[in-house]
Structure 1
Amino acid sequence: MGAIPITPAKQKEVGFMRYINRDILAKMIYRNKKIPKTLAEEIVKYIFDEFQKTLVEDGEIDIAKFGKFYCKDRSPRKGVNPNTGEEIFIGKRLTPKFKASSALTNAINHK
């Protein structure tokens, strides 16, 4: 089942937002599923806590038709302190990454 493009008129009708944060997500769940607001907030907190825990444990999160969150090794390198211009050493570290699924990419491009 493909995504349906949202027209500007529909965006205005449903109160389309350009971003979603935890609070907005909890409010959307609360309003649409008619559950207590505190329960919706707990659900959102639980989901993101589990995402973080999975990534910290060097895991990966794969959400069908949305995308994959994973961690990637970054090699140590030299950098420059933008305030002082001083050269600094940045050690090896893991960086969180996201790769969109083809379904999400196609939906964004209205295919």
Structure 2
Amino acid sequence: MNKTELIEHISTKADLSKADAGRALEAFIGAVKTTLKKKGSVTLVGFGTFAVSERAARTGRNPRTGEAIKIKKARVPKFRPGKALKDAVN
């Protein structure tokens, strides 16, 4: 499912116009991005948790040349599914 299909699904299930569903989805995505930028987390009970993790600096290899390269530390978004989501998938 891509973003357009998700907006269509939301508009059908929530009895909204596609424009309203699109704005709602954009607002949700914006809220998650803003919270993660501030090193916070977003928890949707039963669905899962969006959080930020710190990845340490490390040494890697260029696959073409085989030479060692330094990879900087980075903050990476993560998602941990909740129990209800896991149960729904299984």
TM-score normalised by L of structure 2:
0.87
Q: Determine the structure 2 residue equivalent to 1:100.
A: 81
Q: Deviation of residue 56 (structure 1)?
A: 1.0
| CA deviation profile, 1:56-102 (whole Å, cap 9, x unmatched) | 11010111001111111111100112232221101111111111112
TM-score normalised by L of structure 1:
0.73
SS state at 1:23 partner: helix
Q: Deviation of residue 24 (structure 1)?
A: 1.3
Question: How many correspondences in the alignment?
Answer: 90
Q: Deviation of residue 106 (structure 1)?
A: 2.1
How well do the aligned residues superpose, as a CA RMSD in angstroms? 1.4
Q: Which has the larger radius of gyration?
A: 1
Q: Determine the structure 2 residue equivalent to 1:67.
A: 48
Amino acid at match of 1:79: G
1:18-29 correspondence to structure 2 within 5 Å: 20-29=1-10
Q: Deviation of residue 35 (structure 1)?
A: 2.0
Which has more strand, going by share of residues? 2
Question: Are 2:33 and 1:52 aligned?
Answer: yes
Q: Taking structure 1 as reference, are residues 103 and 31 closer, same or farther at Cα in structure 2, changes over 3 Å only?
A: closer
Q: Which runs of 4+ in 1 moved over 3 A?
A: none
Q: Deviation of residue 31 (structure 1)?
A: 2.2
SS state at 2:79 partner: strand
Long gaps (5+) in structure 2: none
- Percent identity (aligned): 32
Q: Deviation of residue 107 (structure 1)?
A: 2.2
| Distance across 2 between alignment mates of 1:32 and 1:106 | 22
| Distance across 1 between alignment mates of 2:59 and 2:75 | 16
